[in-house]
């Protein structure tokens, strides 16, 4: 095992902390799991003991059902420290979705931070990312190409609202991932002054309700199911990405298919999915944010869990930072899920 820290190891099940005897975001059921956030590729069901933020635990219960969200659940708030075996463990906000956390571990005078997924841009629905200096930083690399520079999300919302004035008769149907993106888009719309009811695909309702329980104000939300075509004329509807480009959208009046995703920055990606109004809104760090974060945390070595690690590792090498691709399979399909 090379590298500055030998007590954190990539294993087939996921990243393993040896002195703490736990896995971070394990891909299969294990005895003890620390979960960074509630997305399906990071939080998997049927774990024995689960440790995460209270928000993430609630999200897991909502999405998986009580019985599959871990036999025992242990909550750890942002900033609280817990000794686990020989490790001191803390969860720091990651700014990705509600409850998302970086796992901060200290052992033998060394500190390692596993970011999970994160972003640096402001998000009214979750606590902002907190940079933690460390010896080893384990980062995601979903958008690690210099072509990905996310614009100001309010600009994208402005585009949407202008389009609604141009086509007042049409239903604007936004494809948005059900945890995080959907609620952020709603919150941004509210921030921009849009206060009409927003209609939701049934699959999105429970997590929105949960966000509201945690004090995130999303305004007047209504189920789209059962609404007549005429009621949705001129309205805003949000559904899972696969639904708005498929049969579900047929219930709407001449829909404008919109998609809120960082991938929309590349035109061919948007066209291939039949999107008419791409909204470049991402819950992941863009290229500049990845590089900024990697230098801010001051780590000697950076591990890359999932995404486009080749470009990021090359760019880090230009900055004299040693990068290593973990090539963990099984992460990173959340934003593209069909």
Partner 1 sequence: MIAFASLLERLIFTPSRNAKIALLRDYFTTAPDPDRGYALAAMAGALSFSAAKPGLIRALAAERMDPVLFDLSYDYVGDLAETVALMWQVDAGRPDRVAPSLGDVVMALETTPKAALPDLVGAWLDASESSERFAILKLITGALRVGASARLAKTALAEIAGVPTDDIEEVWHGLAPPYDALFAWIEGRGARPDMADAPVFRPTMLAQPLDEAELDRFVASEWRAEWKWDGIRVQLVRTAQGARLYTRTADDIGNGFPEIVQAMDDMTEDAVLDGELLVMQDGEPAPFSSLQQRLNRKSPGPAMLRNFPAGVRLYDILFDGTEDVRGLGFDARRARLEAWFARVRPKRMDLSPLVDFANMDALAEIRAGARAAAIEGLMLKRADSPYLAGRPRGPWWKWKREALTVDAVMMYAQRGHGRRSSYYSDYTFGLWRVGEDGVDELVPIGKAYSGITDEELAFLDRWVRNHTIGRFGPVREVEKSLVLEVAFDAAQRSARHKSGVALRFPRIARIRTDKPAHEADRLAEFVAQTL
Q: Does 166 bind partner 1 (CB under 8 A)?
A: yes
- Reference 286, options 301, 264, 317, 270; nearest CA is 264
Instruction: List the single partner that 117 binds among partner 1, Zn ion, none, CB under 5 to 8 Å by kind.
Output: Zn ion
**Could you give the CA distance from residue 228 to residue 333 in angstroms, rounded to a whole number?**
33
Q: Does 174 bind partner 1 (CB under 8 A)?
A: no
Q: Which stretch binds Zn ion (CB under 5 A): 65-73, 115-123, 152-160, 167-175?
A: 115-123
| Count, residues near Zn ion per rule CB under 5 A | 3
| Count, residues near partner 1 per rule CB under 8 A | 36
Among 34, 164, 185, 277, binds partner 1 (CB under 8 A): 277
Q: Does 335 bind Zn ion (CB under 5 A)?
A: no
The length of the chain is 338
Structure tokens of 77?
A: 């708030």
Binding mask 110-149 for partner 1 (x = CB under 8 A): -----------------------------------xxxxx
**Could you give the CA distance from residue 55 to residue 252 in angstroms, rounded to a whole number?**
34
Residue 174 burial class via C-beta count within 10 angstroms: exposed 0-12, middle 13-18, buried 19 and up: buried
Least distance in angstroms from the C-beta of 270 to partner 1:
6
Residue with tokens 């399909």: 333
Least distance in angstroms from the C-beta of 169 to partner 1:
10
**Which 34-93 positions form the footprint of Zn ion (CB under 5 A)?**
39
**Could you give the CA distance from residue 311 to residue 164 in angstroms, rounded to a whole number?**
38
Strand arrangement of the beta sheet that strand 81-84 belongs to: 81-84, 87-93, 101-107, 110-114, 136-141, 301-307, 322-325
**Could you give the CA distance from residue 112 to residue 91 in angstroms, rounded to a whole number?**
12
HSE-CB of 268 using CA atoms within 13 angstroms: 1
**Could you give the CA distance from residue 30 to residue 123 in angstroms, rounded to a whole number?**
32
Q: Are strands 221-223 and 198-200 parallel, antiparallel or unpaired?
A: parallel
Among 314, 319, 336, 337, binds partner 1 (CB under 8 A): 314
Instruction: List the single partner that 13 binds among Zn ion, partner 1, none, CB under 5 to 8 Å by kind.
Output: none
Q: Does 117 bind Zn ion (CB under 5 A)?
A: yes
Q: Does 25 bind Zn ion (CB under 5 A)?
A: no
Q: Which stretch binds partner 1 (CB under 8 A): 28-36, 131-139, 159-167, 326-334?
A: 159-167
**Which 233-252 positions form the footprint of partner 1 (CB under 8 A)?**
245-247, 249-250
Backbone angles phi, psi at 263, to 5 degrees: -65, -20
Residues that bind Zn ion (CB under 5 A): 39, 117, 331
Residues that bind partner 1 (CB under 8 A): 145-149, 151, 159, 163, 166-167, 245-247, 249-250, 254, 256-257, 265-268, 270-272, 274-278, 308, 310-311, 314-315, 318
């Amino acid at each position: 095992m090379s590298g500055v820290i030998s007590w954190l190891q990539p294993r087939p099940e996921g990243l393993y902390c040896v002195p703490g005897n736990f896995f971070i975001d394990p891909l299969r059921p294990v005895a003890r799991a620390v979960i960074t956030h509630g997305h399906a590729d990071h939080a998997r069901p049927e774990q024995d003991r689960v440790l995460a933020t209270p928000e993430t635990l609630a999200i897991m219960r909502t999405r998986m059902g009580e019985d599959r969200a871990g036999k025992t659940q242990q909550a750890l708030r942002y900033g609280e420290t817990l000794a686990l075996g020989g490790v001191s463990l803390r969860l720091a906000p990651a700014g990705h979705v509600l409850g998302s956390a970086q796992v901060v571990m200290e052992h033998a005078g060394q500190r390692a931070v596993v970011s999970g997924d994160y972003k640096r841009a402001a998000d009214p629905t979750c606590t902002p990312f907190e940079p933690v200096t460390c010896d080893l930083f384990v980062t995601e690399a979903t958008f690690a190409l210099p072509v990905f520079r996310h614009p100001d999300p309010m600009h994208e919302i402005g585009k949407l609202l202008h389009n609604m004035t141009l086509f007042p008769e049409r239903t604007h149907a936004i494809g948005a991932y059900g945890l995080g993106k959907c609620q952020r888009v709603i919150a941004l719309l509210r921030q921009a002054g849009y206060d009409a009811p927003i209609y939701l695909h049934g699959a999105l309702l429970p997590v929105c309700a949960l966000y509201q329980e945690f004090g995130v104000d999303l305004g007047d939300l209504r189920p789209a199911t059962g609404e007549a075509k005429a009621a949705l004329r001129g309205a805003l509807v949000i559904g899972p990405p696969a639904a708005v480009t498929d049969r579900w959208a047929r219930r709407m009046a001449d829909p404008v298919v919109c998609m809120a995703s960082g991938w929309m920055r590349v035109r061919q990606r948007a066209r291939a999915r039949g999107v008419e109004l791409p909204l470049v809104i991402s819950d992941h760090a863009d290229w500049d944010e990845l590089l900024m974060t990697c230098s801010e945390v001051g780590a000697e070595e950076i591990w890359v869990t999932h995404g486009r690690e080749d470009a990021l590792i090359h760019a880090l090498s230009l900055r004299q930072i040693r990068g290593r691709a973990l090539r963990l399979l099984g992460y990173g399909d959340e934003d593209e899920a069909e």
